[in-house]
Homo-oligomer: A and B are copies of this chain.
């Protein structure tokens, strides 16, 4: 593959990004949004099991209801797009089955030959973890998606703000997800920074490499 980005461009884009507090009302162009949605869908996950669903909240009335359960953060209502990351509440043999069957079909593979892989997934995730661990395992996978989304946005010149301080249970309720097999974990606002967002000009605070990079 021809790498679309040089090392200097990547570093520049990652320094440019910041947790945007004030978003402009400008909407993302359709092709840019489509590629960000695809970046969510293409996120790698443990065993490839994709224990998730990404909700794109377009309805202004729903976004208005979510804002008070998000410490009233304006990003919830103002950003071009709001993504809500939901995990599977429980991993069942059917979840493994759905993935496994798609794999066998799309790769034109032999299900009998791949049977040990199916058993490994069931042993590792369905039977090998209790409900609490499954939910945390799924939450971690969502955080890979959150990272992939924010990085993808940065190289596209799009702003984001991860929203961890939300009332996830209230989100699940408001979005009508109770009993759906999915529950909300985290959210992310996506769009363009407002020209007057004072946070854009603030120095990014990161520990020096000497503190966070170890060499062995």
Contact = CB atoms under 8 A, between A and B. Distances in A.
Interface residues of A, number: 85
Contacts of A103: 205
A214 interface: yes
A152 B5 CA distance: 9
A141 B162 CA distance: 11
Q: Please give the count of copies of this chain that the complex contains.
A: 2
A204 to B, nearest CB: 7
A49 to B, nearest CB: 10
What DSSP secondary structure best describes chain A's contact surface? helix
Interface in A14-28: 14-17, 19
Contact of A10 (B4, B7, B52, B145): B4
A162 B44 contact: yes
Nearest to A205: B103
Given A4-B10, A4-B155, A53 B143 contact: no
A48 interface: yes
A79 to B, nearest CB: 15
Given A144-B143, A155-B5, A216 B56 contact: yes
Interface string A192-216: 0000000000111111010111111
Contacts of A34: 7
A92 interface: no
Given A4-B6, A59-B216, 7 more contacts: A5-B156, A7-B32, A7-B34, A11-B38, A14-B39, A15-B42, A124-B165
23 contacts: A4-B12, A4-B13, A6-B156, A7-B31, A8-B31, A10-B39, A10-B152, A14-B148, A19-B44, A37-B213, A41-B206, A48-B205, A53-B213, A54-B213, A54-B214, A56-B214, A103-B205, A107-B203, A140-B143, A143-B144, A146-B147, A147-B147, A148-B151
Q: Which 3 A-B pairs have the closest CB atoms?
A: A147-B147, A3-B157, A7-B35
